[in-house]
Amino acid sequence: MQSPADEDTLRLCLSNIIDAIDKCIQKLKDQRRAPTTTEIQQQPPFDNLNDDDIFSTKGSRSTDIGKVTLDGVENELLDSLTEDIETELGECLPDLTPICFNSFTDFLHQYDYDRERQKFSSTLAKNAISSMKQELKGLLASNAAFLAASTGKQAIVKSFIQEYPTFKDNPSLWGTTLLYTAALNDQFEMVKYLVEKARCAVNARNWHNGNIDRSPSAANTKNPMPGATALHVACSNDHLAIVKYLVAEKNADYFIKNQANKTPIEYGEQHSDVKQFLQDYLIVSWSSSLSTNLPHKPILDEDRPQQDCTWEYKSLQKPEWHKFSSDATQILHQALISTRKFQAEVQLKTQEGLFTVSMTKFLRSDKTDPDAQEKQAWIRCRGSSVLNFNIDAIWQLMFIRYPEATKKITSLLHITHLTTIFDSKFNIELDKWYTCDTRTNLLLNNSMNLRRKVIATDIPLGMKDEPLYFNLHTFTFANDDKTVVGYLRWIPKLISNDERNKDRIRDIDNFQSTDNVKPILLTTERSIHEMTDDEEEFTDEEVDTHDYGNDFDNGNENGNHSRNRNRNHTPNENDNYSDSDIDNDNDNNRSSDDDNDSHNRNRNHHHNENDNDNHYDTGNDNSNENASMATKKKVCLPSESFAASNQNKHILLSRGFLMVKILNQLRHV
């Protein structure tokens, strides 16, 4: 943090250097105003000469002879300035604290300053000293701005950012960013101002030397400040309101590591209320309700595969999902292991009979009568396709309740693809699967990778811009008032493996005949390889400057107010949605009174067996109010995670190839 001794030393040093640069610039102007005899005859007057004219390389104002004379004088002035600055730095640097010394010399490195020799590698360039002066003035003014950020004085911070906008995400000479400083001091309103008004990057990092110590003892021995974000310090200091805001509303990266090799989650585990919030916000496990260990890395960085899922089935004719037996679970699970030959069908022997399961359609049929719909059932794997099987997934939605659902029912086995293109003739049917559009599919895959429990996004179905909330733990979805409710599942993404397509990816429709093709699972590794080949399409500027959040959230401060109200709705205990609600709705939609008794029996049996896990709670599994408030927010892809971390495309791949796929797809959506 700021040291009074450092402040005094730097104030004098920076002021002296700025004065030296000003004097040099003035002398350069004077030289330009005193041309040679030849120049007097050929050059226009210099009455309006400014700093930029001094450094312009366009259109020389002198003859060749005059230019040689002028350049010689300029070089002498620049040599003298360079030596004067080196002298000032030589007196200043030894008195600084290590963090301030490192930060200041890092800043000077862009002007070829050698930290070890404490000398510039070459004379300062004429066209660099004006920008150097401006940046040094920013450093000088930053002392007051960072102090204001720590005490909540917005006017001072606002004035500083307006005057020196490039400094808003840069670390101070004491190594911290403005956002980190505000979060450290629990200045919630200042944090909101910096993120929402000043547009500071949520994941902007403190100064660090670029080397992360990954040794086992590093987390206990290293200074936690270098490389840390505002979320690191908010979690570490138990500033719960700021943690909730950064994570739930602004999508701060909770897996990013500081130089001590620790994530914000690891610091949050030290405080019970922050830990509880993170447990409610994140998916800890899909198979165990007892696990409380928080994840420390995204799924793509986990050791894979590992079995953490629940296999379930649902009759085409009934609304409830039931767990498979442990034996059936293992048969289904082994069929999708990507290192084995893909089995398009597997046989299951249960107490109910002998069944054939299509692993392409995720459909169970009676072995002896495969077309009997009353014996058919959809299956799903409630868990991550990447974590469990190292494979890509295609997401599907099934609507159980929808106000404008058509009464004209086609085959429940017919799969429809959702599209972002408006179609006035498109009607939703209940109890059938709809394959998600590309954008939604990628968003769900990425959210699974980040283990987010509940996300929200718009589905282009004429829903008046009302978002749907997806619970990726229970695999259910609903809107705010539960007039739209449904189920969620993924199916494996298949590609062709015939001779013509061995070296390229050609998608296969899971619901078309595969007799003439050799379907195989699209593995995570192959997807990463494909994205690596495609990544040259992007430049660093494209990744760093584009606001991807706006691609997924078309609303803004002047946008649709009803949409914003929906997104900021704080759910309560009434947001719980149970199977009984589903049954009542299905009774109304189908008028199948004859099935009511069996529905109730099945439902009661299912609840006893599964401990009420299969409910329609779109806030969180425990109906925790704090978690609901934290999770029921519009999910946007954080643009800050790209820009502030200054990560190149290869690091993006290691953090998650799904993010890169989103960037690729956004060019075509």
Distance CA 225, CA 258 (A): 7
CB atoms near residue 616 (< 10 Å)? 22
Residue showing tokens 């195989």? 520
**Is the distance from CB of 647 to CB of 507 less than 8 angstroms?**
no
**Is the distance from CB of 418 to CB of 461 less than 8 angstroms?**
yes
**Is the distance from CB of 286 to CB of 384 less than 8 angstroms?**
yes
Q: In what order do the strands lie in the sheet with 454-457?
A: 416-417, 433-435, 393-401, 485-492, 476-478, 468-471, 454-457
Name the least confident of 197-211, 255-269, 434-448, 514-528.
514-528
Per-residue pLDDT, averaged over 628-646, amounts to 37
Distance CA 269, CA 235 (A): 8
What fold does the segment set 176-281 form as a domain?
A: 1.25.40
Structure tokens belonging to residue 116: 């070890």
Distance CA 402, CA 415 (A): 17
How confident is the model at residue 652, as a pLDDT?
38
> At residue 595, does pLDDT exceed 80?
no
**Is the distance from CB of 150 to CB of 184 less than 8 angstroms?**
yes
How confident is the model at residue 191, as a pLDDT?
98
Structure tokens belonging to residue 577: 């949605």
Residue 517 backbone phi and psi in degrees, to 5: -130, 165
pLDDT band at 288 (very low <50, low <70, confident <90, very high): confident
Paired strand residues for 315 = 377
pLDDT band at 462 (very low <50, low <70, confident <90, very high): low
In the chain, which segments carry CATH 3.30.720.50? 310-389
DSSP secondary structure of 459-474: -SSSSTTPPEEEETTT
Using the 8-state DSSP alphabet, how is residue 375 labeled?
G
pLDDT tens-place string over residues 390-438: 999 999 999 999 988 887 777 788 888 887 666 667 788 899 999 998 8
442, exposed or middle or buried, with CB in 10 Å at 0-12, 13-18, 19+?
buried
Q: Which of 439, 437, 446, 436 minimizes the C-alpha distance to 472?
A: 446
Q: Which of 165, 150, 225 minimizes the C-alpha distance to 198?
A: 165
Amino acid found at 574: N
Name the least confident of 381-390, 506-515, 545-554, 613-622.
545-554
Per-residue pLDDT, averaged over 256-282, amounts to 96
Pairing assessment for the beta strands 353-358 and 363-366 based on DSSP bridges: antiparallel
> At residue 62, does pLDDT exceed 50?
no
Distance CA 316, CA 312 (A): 13
Structure tokens belonging to residue 188: 């919630």
> At residue 315, does pLDDT exceed 60?
yes
pLDDT tens-place string over residues 119-166: 999 999 888 999 999 999 999 999 899 999 999 999 999 999 999 998
Pairing assessment for the beta strands 345-350 and 353-358 based on DSSP bridges: antiparallel
Instruction: Please name the residue ranges forming H helices in 110-207.
Output: 129-151, 154-163, 178-184, 188-192
Structure tokens belonging to residue 526: 């192959």
More confident site: 214 or 11: 11
Q: Which of 374, 369, 568, 560 minimizes the C-alpha distance to 480?
A: 568
C-alpha distance across the termini of the chain, in Å: 46
> At residue 198, does pLDDT exceed 70?
yes
DSSP secondary structure of 545-580: HS-HHHHH----TTS-HHHHHHHT----GGG---HH
Instruction: Produce one character per residue of 202-241: b if its CB has 16 or more CB atoms within 10 Å, e if not.
Output: bbbbbbbeeebeeeeeebeebebbbbbbbbbbbbbbbbbe
**Is the distance from CB of 316 to CB of 377 less than 8 angstroms?**
yes
243-to-58, 201, 432, 657 alpha-carbon distances in Å: 51, 15, 39, 26
pLDDT tens-place string over residues 215-237: 444 444 578 899 999 999 999 99
Using the 8-state DSSP alphabet, how is residue 412 labeled?
T
Using the 8-state DSSP alphabet, how is residue 282 labeled?
B
Per-residue pLDDT, averaged over 494-514, amounts to 73
For residue 305, whether the previous peptide bond is cis, meaning omega lies within 30 degrees of 0, is yes
250, exposed or middle or buried, with CB in 10 Å at 0-12, 13-18, 19+?
buried
Share of the chain above pLDDT 70, in %: 68
Q: Which of 138, 116, 137, 130 minimizes the C-alpha distance to 78?
A: 130
In the chain, which segments carry CATH 1.25.40.20? 176-281
What fold does the segment set 310-389 form as a domain?
A: 3.30.720
